[in-house]
Amino acid sequence: MFSETELNTIVKKITDNYQNEELFYVKPGHQMPNRDTIIHIILGMRQIMFPGYFDEERLSRKHPGFFLGHSILKLYDTLMAQIKAALTQFEKENGDISEAETEGRADEICSSFFTSLPYVQQLLMKDVQAAFDGDPAARSKEEIIFCYPGLLAVFVYRIAHELYRLKVPFIPRIMAEYAHGRTGIDINPGAVIGEYFFIDHGTGVVVGETTEIGNNVKIYQGVTLGALSTRSGQLLRDVKRHPTIEDDVTIYSNATILGGETVIGKGTVIGGNCFITESVPEGSRVSAKKQDLSITEKRGKEGELFDSFDCSLL
Amino acid sequence: MFSETELNTIVKKITDNYQNEELFYVKPGHQMPNRDTIIHIILGMRQIMFPGYFDEERLSRKHPGFFLGHSILKLYDTLMAQIKAALTQFEKENGDISEAETEGRADEICSSFFTSLPYVQQLLMKDVQAAFDGDPAARSKEEIIFCYPGLLAVFVYRIAHELYRLKVPFIPRIMAEYAHGRTGIDINPGAVIGEYFFIDHGTGVVVGETTEIGNNVKIYQGVTLGALSTRSGQLLRDVKRHPTIEDDVTIYSNATILGGETVIGKGTVIGGNCFITESVPEGSRVSAKKQDLSITEKRGKEGELFDSFDCSLL
Amino acid sequence: MFSETELNTIVKKITDNYQNEELFYVKPGHQMPNRDTIIHIILGMRQIMFPGYFDEERLSRKHPGFFLGHSILKLYDTLMAQIKAALTQFEKENGDISEAETEGRADEICSSFFTSLPYVQQLLMKDVQAAFDGDPAARSKEEIIFCYPGLLAVFVYRIAHELYRLKVPFIPRIMAEYAHGRTGIDINPGAVIGEYFFIDHGTGVVVGETTEIGNNVKIYQGVTLGALSTRSGQLLRDVKRHPTIEDDVTIYSNATILGGETVIGKGTVIGGNCFITESVPEGSRVSAKKQDLSITEKRGKEGELFDSFDCSLL
Amino acid sequence: MFSETELNTIVKKITDNYQNEELFYVKPGHQMPNRDTIIHIILGMRQIMFPGYFDEERLSRKHPGFFLGHSILKLYDTLMAQIKAALTQFEKENGDISEAETEGRADEICSSFFTSLPYVQQLLMKDVQAAFDGDPAARSKEEIIFCYPGLLAVFVYRIAHELYRLKVPFIPRIMAEYAHGRTGIDINPGAVIGEYFFIDHGTGVVVGETTEIGNNVKIYQGVTLGALSTRSGQLLRDVKRHPTIEDDVTIYSNATILGGETVIGKGTVIGGNCFITESVPEGSRVSAKKQDLSITEKRGKEGELFDSFDCSLL
Amino acid sequence: MFSETELNTIVKKITDNYQNEELFYVKPGHQMPNRDTIIHIILGMRQIMFPGYFDEERLSRKHPGFFLGHSILKLYDTLMAQIKAALTQFEKENGDISEAETEGRADEICSSFFTSLPYVQQLLMKDVQAAFDGDPAARSKEEIIFCYPGLLAVFVYRIAHELYRLKVPFIPRIMAEYAHGRTGIDINPGAVIGEYFFIDHGTGVVVGETTEIGNNVKIYQGVTLGALSTRSGQLLRDVKRHPTIEDDVTIYSNATILGGETVIGKGTVIGGNCFITESVPEGSRVSAKKQDLSITEKRGKEGELFDSFDCSLL
Amino acid sequence: MFSETELNTIVKKITDNYQNEELFYVKPGHQMPNRDTIIHIILGMRQIMFPGYFDEERLSRKHPGFFLGHSILKLYDTLMAQIKAALTQFEKENGDISEAETEGRADEICSSFFTSLPYVQQLLMKDVQAAFDGDPAARSKEEIIFCYPGLLAVFVYRIAHELYRLKVPFIPRIMAEYAHGRTGIDINPGAVIGEYFFIDHGTGVVVGETTEIGNNVKIYQGVTLGALSTRSGQLLRDVKRHPTIEDDVTIYSNATILGGETVIGKGTVIGGNCFITESVPEGSRVSAKKQDLSITEKRGKEGELFDSFDCSLL
């Protein structure tokens, strides 16, 4: 093992890194939001939104009032503490405000957030319906609520979006990344998404911050709704740079649609693997032209096939 | 914080949502299958299939009989309770059957399932061999068993598929989504997959419900074996709508193969990013024609490059 | 339930499988590395690299020396035990060495590894900067450290790569697969990656074992830096088979770049969905030619649209 | 290690023990009450009885109605399942009753139990007051609620006694033994205990099943309120065999009071270490006569003292 | 189950109890100390005091400085937060002080406390020696440190006493009750206890708040060092009401020594079961006079014995 | 907070304590037995001894052979590792032996231990019977197995005693102290105890290392079977210094019986609170002579009573 001196050198060097980097350590008296707590809040919300699916108890059934009142109050407290922490941590960007002011704002945000829950729940019921209508493999709506990653991602998005709208820093992103980690679906909480939204399979889906999506839209795995370029980085912040998808659009797997001025018109169907950077009129069916594939005939028996395979052609 | 009245209003609205939505609450006396328990079953199966890899003990080595007998009985009980719950929950679709009948069916299914395990294990050994033969980065078979997501996904599929064949509702899907969440690989338990199957990297792979895959097939990340369209939704249920992949086929990354009548012939190699909706004869090598790329020369130094970058060309 | 005899038959068959398969059971006296412990090490490293972000305490702030000394010693012990287990388990490939020799090698590796930490930390600070500069949606560097999957994957890669360089078997791969599972980003620890590296969104990214990446490179979700073919399997081991990406390159989503002789020149921008198997000169902007899309006009009202949709055209 | 044969012999012998002993295994289809669940119920009751002391949240404060409604319903369900299990397990003593009857009885018991809670809480408030008045070392009533073992034991007794009164088998005893294990105070749930009861220190206190205790009684560590003899065992079941302690009695440490006909009259004080098997009239002060102690003078210096110590005199 | 109305009645009654009882709910903005955290602190202290016994790591051995620095800082933070909570909660008794003042006091107390640790550790080493010298059944000092309840109780006492001396409210008592619950030994943190103290077996030992104990004292299970009477309750607070035990005294099992003016002189040995309320001179050996036992001869065979046993004689 | 210098002083002082105290740190390469693991072993043994009581599964019922074989092998491994650690740690007392020798001895001990289990189980069944016969409050044998602390203590004793007989250091004591902590009953594993043994209530019972107890003995809470004096400490090690209790003896609560030459003859009954240091012939009934109690009449009303109470008379 390294000697005491060597160890001290390592310690010294890392300590120096700490001191040279303003990033390290939150401001004194402040505290980062807590990822585990935020996940806990998401799961609590899910019990409220889908009673009887993710709790083991018959509680919500028999006297839903007590269950709801208790659950909401419990989550209110937990969420408000996290929002306060987030506001405090980020106030350096916004000029100093007093602790009481921060507390007041956190409280106000929380009230608005919980007031919107009944509406959010109605949206989610429509999302469930959309998934059932859209997936022949779905045996029941219960299956969708219980195990479809697409619904999980949309549920988390709808919760996170409410907080984004209320200008809560940081927390919506933590929520979105939780869903991203579990499902491979990355919906920025800033996106605006209408009713009856369904994502099938979902792995690799990216929906950018300024995307707008209408009602009754269905997208598949690997679809990107992105920006044309982000090299100009922080200068583009808050600029509309992601596409607009109108009502009744279907986007098949691995299609890519880029750009803030790109509008996919109502009722359009985008075929798989299409790469689109310009607007498409209402009611179109877009597909790559029948792809010119190079198909070479079989040569020799299998063993030989692979040895002789001309990789450069792939 | 909101007042007592405001809180009561929220509670009232959500309670109303509950009552208007037949989805909420399982039938009295019933119970949803339990996701954690099902994951527990998967992990228990994995210990049986790959002894010494996922348990810390030398148990399985010294007296494998006791280890196996005990483990199988333990899992039998746990699985049977879940199957019974699933059958009960879903019997509403099938007309009422008595609890004893349900119990009997669950028991029968469990017996069949466990009887198939030795065979499933032999399949898995062949899958390990396929991965070792197919990946130059693999240092040993142990590495494959221990940490390849492709093998995890195939293992879960093989278990879930047995239950699917035995017409267990819901549980196979929960299993598949567990693997999907951990690996980004989404294999519907209804797919029929032959021996020596290998998925490399795997994130974004989708294998649809009615897909048929032969022996010695290898697929890469981002490959979709999907349906042409699912807009007609529940009407398509149980119709063959995903492709057939014959023996000895290799499908490179991000290729998309769609449609129930699409057959990829024996020994074919599909190049990366190909989009295929029609059958391909035996022994073909399919690649996109050498892609026509627009390559613009370098202009100025780097800083300028990005400022002047003409996004519309991308 | 099956009878005692049937159960015994199943037990017998699986026991036979065990005996027929040399893979099962580690060598007597040996032990597999422990996945949970390795994850624990990763998380411990993360606390050292980003103090104050993933621990709840003000410890690292006030007397960072004690925090670091203690944490390093604790992780040293834990990591060394895992490395020893990995070396022992894999020595069968390398001829037998004594336990003392193995212990000595593990110790030496650990010393080198921890000595490199201050440097690794400086790299990570540059990666954070690259992410902040490159993503308009990033509100602060804290957000990047705290919840960007791209940074998590790069952090794990940088740790795992140090161990790969020191010829530690197995453990770097376990680390990489941990990051892969959480982020959908699969960077082989063997890849060589320069400073200021940023992966945005990231799901589906694959970076192969012999890839070389310069400084200031940015890649998006779904990008594959892969081999042309791996059918020759174990024969290709340690051969350069993945591309070289020079400094200042940007690769947009779902692009695929294959082959060990493929070099993407300095300052190049690769557009989304490009499929590249040959080298590209410095400063190029590569995009698919404006894709020939088949756009069909709207027919009838929406309900009809989908019924009449001609799937074969997709 | 023992051989396969030796192991089989051990297994065989223990299996035989199982078969020879009717005790083993609960009746098919039945289930033992679950100790962990019962402890969970106790702790839940404690949160209801002493809001704000054993939960971290401000929940109970702000809208106590939701907190109470939710908590009671949750505990109702949990407790009812345990009572049903206990009734079923013990019905063999009582002749067979149907599952519906058992369920009905369990429900009825639960309703009565929860209906009594407000009254039990008032008793507990008086017990807290008694402890505060009786212990000069008590700094506040909070301290008593939060950490006095005497109060914990009395709280558990008052809960368990309600269930005992409702003829719930088994569960009251499990509760009592939980308190016994944590505090060393063993109060049989069958004892009848009045208001303002205080046990100080408490370790070693035993209060037998048919004990009756009036109001405002205080007892110290090591006090036994027991039976004269129990050698006749099961024949004595339900016979009054423990003493009666009238109002305003104090019993100092390690005193023993035995016998079903022994009555300690109102206002009596029993001195430490007294051994009492007959009744004592109202208002007495009972102490051992000034104990005749044998006190031998100091001999030599300390080292010698112990060497020469004549143990037989002790 | 009870009706909605009945449930509401119960909820209403308990809510009324809450409102009628000033005890419930801590003051707004305040917080109770947390029992789990305090136990965590005790266990952390134990690792510092007895390195290598209660942690699994070789950490403390190789670079004890880092281990200690880190552990102390970690516990400092945790303890200070608890002390602040305790001071805040109890300030209502002491008139209002500002949060900054409270914080300052907590910090000062913490500094003093940790400064005393090296001394406390030396005391504990002497206690271990005393146990080893005093118990023939002790095989090694390791055994004493690792599993003697007497040492655990003394260790917790010595920690709690330091905090008591520093006038920390509440927390010392929580610590003492933790030890009491685990060992059955109840030492009030206010007692003053000298060097080389040993409690053997220990269950039922009570050492009151104003007890003074010299050096080299040994006591056995069931010994009470108590007050003569505490009926006058809160009036006696802070009055010396428990005995003084001088150096080199041994007190055998179940002896009771009461009263603030009772002094047991240097070198005295108190026999088992003695009941003492007056002072005893130096160097005495005190025992009950040879107890007059009533010994009745054997009558008949065993079965008869118990039937005819005359309980009233016991 | 204290300054860096003050902190360093504390760290320095404690480090010095570590270095001055040979006790600290186990020998290099050695390891203490692990208390949690030993508790785990106890609980595993309990599942084997009382199948169906402490596991939730029907496993042991249906195919007890697999359950037993698996459980025994699992516990064998775990126990053997602990025994090896204990032997290694304590070999310094016994001269050095090689690791292989230690391993061999640990294996031999384990084999003997598990071979004795069927016999131990038969003893325990008799202990259950004794408890049922001896306690009128026992409603069923299930209740005894499930929650009587006396049975828990005797069960742990019987297990620990087997290991004590096989000369396992340290571990039997850890087991005994686990039972002591949970029940307040302290039975030294060295004691020799016959069949049909019952301890009722049990708190405060102490049974010394060289105690011998015959068949059909029953003892109550607070009973000490101890040594006359242990001041000569380590010199008395292994000397018979605790009493012998012959068959069919009953010892009531808080009786104390001391001395290695004290024999309580067959069939004797010892009354509560007796203090005995000499032998008692067969078939005796021993009780304190009817205690001379000082009973003073009631004076005035209650309030006055306590104010005027003359403590010195107690």
What's the pLDDT tens digit per position in A122-155? 999 999 999 999 888 888 888 899 899 999 999 9
CA distance B258 to B237: 16
CA distance F9 to B301: 59
| Chosen CATH of D191-288 out of 3.40.50.720, 2.70.98.70, 2.160.10.10, 1.10.1200.120 | 2.160.10.10
Length of chain B equals 314
- What is the CB neighbour count within 10 angstroms for residue C80? 19
Residues near E220 by beta carbon (within 8 Å), at least 6 away in sequence:
E199, E200, E201, E202, E205, E251, E252, E253, E254, E255, E272, F226
Q: Is the pLDDT of residue C233 over 70?
A: no
CA distance F86 to E168: 41
Buried b (16+ CB within 10 A) or exposed e, D218-238: bbbbbbbbbbbbbbbbeebee
Work out the minimum CA distance from D58 to partner chain F, whole angstroms: 31
- Closest residue in B to D7 (Cα) is B63
CA distance D176 to E52: 37
What integer pLDDT is reported at residue E301 of this predicted model?
41
Q: Is the pLDDT of residue D304 over 50?
A: no
Mutate which of A10, A31, A63 to disrupt the E interface (most E C-beta within 10 Å)?
A63
Yes or no, beta carbons of A62 and E7 under 8 Å apart = no
Mutate which of C10, C66, C67, C103 to disrupt the F interface (most F C-beta within 10 Å)?
C66
- Closest residue in A to B92 (Cα) is A140
Work out the minimum CA distance from E74 to partner chain C, whole angstroms: 6
- Whether residue D115 contacts residue E2, with contact meaning beta carbons closer than 8 Å, is answered with yes
Residues of A with Cβ-Cβ distance to D63 under 8 angstroms: 69, 73
Q: Which of A1, A4, A63 shows the shortest C-beta gap to E4?
A: A63
**β-strand pairing of C186-187 with B275-276:** unpaired
Of A257-261, B12-16, B74-78, C46-50, the one with minimum mean pLDDT is: B12-16
What integer pLDDT is reported at residue D56 of this predicted model?
58
Q: Which fold has domain F31-184?
A: serine acetyltransferase, domain 1 (1.10.3130)
Instruction: Let me know if chains A and F touch, i.e. at least 3 Cβ pairs under 8 angstroms.
Output: no
Residues of C with Cβ-Cβ distance to A26 under 8 angstroms: 52, 142
**Residue D95 tokens, joined:** 């002749």
**Residue E310 tokens, joined:** 């005359």
Yes or no, beta carbons of B292 and C287 under 8 Å apart = no
Q: Amino acid identity of D78?
A: T
Q: Which of F60, F76, F134 shows the shortest C-beta gap to D1?
A: F76
Q: Which fold has domain C191-287?
A: UDP N-Acetylglucosamine Acyltransferase; domain 1 (2.160.10)
Q: Is the pLDDT of residue C308 over 90?
A: no
Tell the burial category of F307 from Cβ atoms under 10 Å away from its Cβ (0-12, 13-18, 19+).
Answer: exposed
Tell the burial category of E287 from Cβ atoms under 10 Å away from its Cβ (0-12, 13-18, 19+).
Answer: buried
Work out the minimum CA distance from B106 to partner chain D, whole angstroms: 16
3-class DSSP state for residue C261? coil
- Whether residue D73 contacts residue A67, with contact meaning beta carbons closer than 8 Å, is answered with yes
CA distance D165 to D190: 8
Question: Residue ranges of the domains in chain E?
Answer: 27-183, 191-288
- Closest residue in D to F118 (Cα) is D14
**Residue A235 tokens, joined:** 């200068």
Q: Which fold has domain C32-184?
A: serine acetyltransferase, domain 1 (1.10.3130)
CA distance A19 to C61: 10
What's the pLDDT tens digit per position in E221-271? 999 999 986 665 666 777 899 999 999 999 999 999 999 999 999 999 998
Yes or no, beta carbons of D235 and F145 under 8 Å apart = no
Yes or no, beta carbons of A285 and C313 under 8 Å apart = yes
| Chosen CATH of E27-183 out of 3.40.718.10, 3.40.50.12160, 1.10.3130.10, 2.60.120.10 | 1.10.3130.10
Residues of E with Cβ-Cβ distance to A4 under 8 angstroms: 63
- Whether residue C42 contacts residue C156, with contact meaning beta carbons closer than 8 Å, is answered with yes
Work out the minimum CA distance from B143 to partner chain C, whole angstroms: 7
What's the pLDDT tens digit per position in E60-96? 566 788 888 888 988 998 999 999 989 987 765 556 6
DSSP state of B294: E
Residue E13: which pLDDT band, with cuts at 50, 70 and 90? confident
pLDDT, average across residues C48-71: 77
CA distance D120 to C243: 76
Residues near F3 by beta carbon (within 8 Å), at least 6 away in sequence:
none
What's the pLDDT tens digit per position in B186-215? 999 999 999 999 999 999 999 999 999 999
What integer pLDDT is reported at residue A32 of this predicted model?
75
Q: Which of A57, A59, A69 shows the shortest C-beta gap to D66?
A: A69
3-class DSSP state for residue C29? coil
Q: Is the pLDDT of residue C177 over 70?
A: yes
Residues of D with Cβ-Cβ distance to B7 under 8 angstroms: 63
Q: Which residues pair with E275 in a beta bridge?
A: E256
CA distance C40 to E57: 15
Residues of F with Cβ-Cβ distance to C67 under 8 angstroms: none
Backbone angles phi, psi at F271, to 5 degrees: -70, 165
Yes or no, beta carbons of F1 and C63 under 8 Å apart = no
Tell me the helices (H) and strands (E) count for chain A, helix number first: 10, 15
What integer pLDDT is reported at residue B314 of this predicted model?
31
CA distance A204 to A193: 18
Residue C6: which pLDDT band, with cuts at 50, 70 and 90? confident
Residues of E with Cβ-Cβ distance to A84 under 8 angstroms: none
Containing B187, the helix (H) or strand (E) segment is: strand B186-187
DSSP state of D280: B
Residue of C42, C4, C5 whose CA lies nearest to C182 = C42
DSSP state of B280: B
Yes or no, beta carbons of F7 and C62 under 8 Å apart = no
CA distance F305 to F292: 23
CA distance E308 to E296: 13
Tell the burial category of F3 from Cβ atoms under 10 Å away from its Cβ (0-12, 13-18, 19+).
Answer: exposed
Q: Which residues pair with F251 in a beta bridge?
A: F219, F270
Of A191-205, B294-308, C273-287, D185-199, the one with minimum mean pLDDT is: B294-308
Mutate which of C63, C70, C99, C103 to disrupt the F interface (most F C-beta within 10 Å)?
C63
Q: Which of F136, F145, F204 shows the shortest C-beta gap to D204?
A: F204
Cα torsion E248, E249, E250, E253: sign? negative
Yes or no, beta carbons of F62 and C7 under 8 Å apart = no
What's the pLDDT tens digit per position in A96-131? 678 788 899 999 999 999 999 999 999 999 999 999
- Closest residue in D to F204 (Cα) is D204
Backbone angles phi, psi at F94, to 5 degrees: -110, 10
Backbone angles phi, psi at C225, to 5 degrees: -110, 95
Q: Which of B6, B177, B269 shows the shortest C-beta gap to A149?
A: B177
- Whether residue B145 contacts residue B127, with contact meaning beta carbons closer than 8 Å, is answered with no
What integer pLDDT is reported at residue A228 of this predicted model?
82
CA distance B134 to B140: 12
CA distance B222 to E239: 80
In this complex, the chains that touch B, judged by 3 or more CB pairs closer than 8 A, are: A, C, D, F
CA distance B134 to C235: 10
Residues of D with Cβ-Cβ distance to E276 under 8 angstroms: 291, 293
Residues of A with Cβ-Cβ distance to D57 under 8 angstroms: 74, 77
- Whether residue B294 contacts residue C268, with contact meaning beta carbons closer than 8 Å, is answered with no
Highest averaged pLDDT of the listed ranges B92-96, B202-206, D299-303: B202-206
Mutate which of D47, D50, D124, D201 to disrupt the E interface (most E C-beta within 10 Å)?
D201
In this complex, the chains that touch D, judged by 3 or more CB pairs closer than 8 A, are: A, B, E, F
CA distance C273 to C254: 5
Write B174-177 long-range contacts (CB < 8 A, 24+).
B174/A146, B174/A147, B174/B33, B174/B35, B174/B38, B175/B38, B175/B42, B177/A147, B177/A148, B177/A149
Yes or no, beta carbons of F289 and E294 under 8 Å apart = yes
Backbone angles phi, psi at A224, to 5 degrees: -110, 125
**Residue D297 tokens, joined:** 């003078």
CA distance F37 to E224: 35
Q: Given the structure tokens 């007050």, which residue do they identify?
A: E227
Cα torsion C263, C266, C268, C273: sign? positive
3-class DSSP state for residue E295? strand
Mean pLDDT for all residues in chain F: 84
Containing C207, the helix (H) or strand (E) segment is: strand C206-207
Yes or no, beta carbons of E146 and F233 under 8 Å apart = no
Yes or no, beta carbons of E224 and D229 under 8 Å apart = no
Residues of E with Cβ-Cβ distance to D184 under 8 angstroms: 184, 203-204
Mutate which of C74, C147, C241, C275 to disrupt the A interface (most A C-beta within 10 Å)?
C147
Q: Which fold has domain A27-184?
A: serine acetyltransferase, domain 1 (1.10.3130)
Q: Is D283 left (phi over 0), alpha (psi -120 to 50) or beta?
A: left
**CATH architecture assigned to D30-184:** Orthogonal Bundle (1.10)
- Closest residue in A to D78 (Cα) is A57
Yes or no, beta carbons of D226 and F253 under 8 Å apart = yes
Residue F220: which pLDDT band, with cuts at 50, 70 and 90? very high
Q: Given the structure tokens 């004592």, which residue do they identify?
A: D280
Yes or no, beta carbons of F65 and B63 under 8 Å apart = no
**β-strand pairing of F285-288 with E293-296:** antiparallel
Yes or no, beta carbons of E73 and C65 under 8 Å apart = no
CA distance C268 to D193: 86
Containing A193, the helix (H) or strand (E) segment is: strand A192-193
Q: Amino acid identity of F254?
A: N
Q: Is the pLDDT of residue E125 over 90?
A: yes
CA distance B193 to B242: 13
Q: Is the pLDDT of residue A214 over 50?
A: yes
Work out the minimum CA distance from D231 to partner chain F, whole angstroms: 6
**Residue C24 tokens, joined:** 């099962």
**Residue E229 tokens, joined:** 């009477």
Residues near F162 by beta carbon (within 8 Å), at least 6 away in sequence:
F113, F116, F120
- Beginning with the edge strand found earlier in the chain, give each strand of the sheet holding A192-193 in spatial order: A192-193, A212-213, A244-245, A263-264
Work out the minimum CA distance from D13 to partner chain E, whole angstroms: 33
- Closest residue in D to E91 (Cα) is D140
Containing B286, the helix (H) or strand (E) segment is: strand B285-288
pLDDT, average across residues D278-298: 74
What's the pLDDT tens digit per position in A3-40? 878 888 888 888 888 888 777 755 555 567 889 999 99
Mutate which of C47, C73, C75 to disrupt the E interface (most E C-beta within 10 Å)?
C73
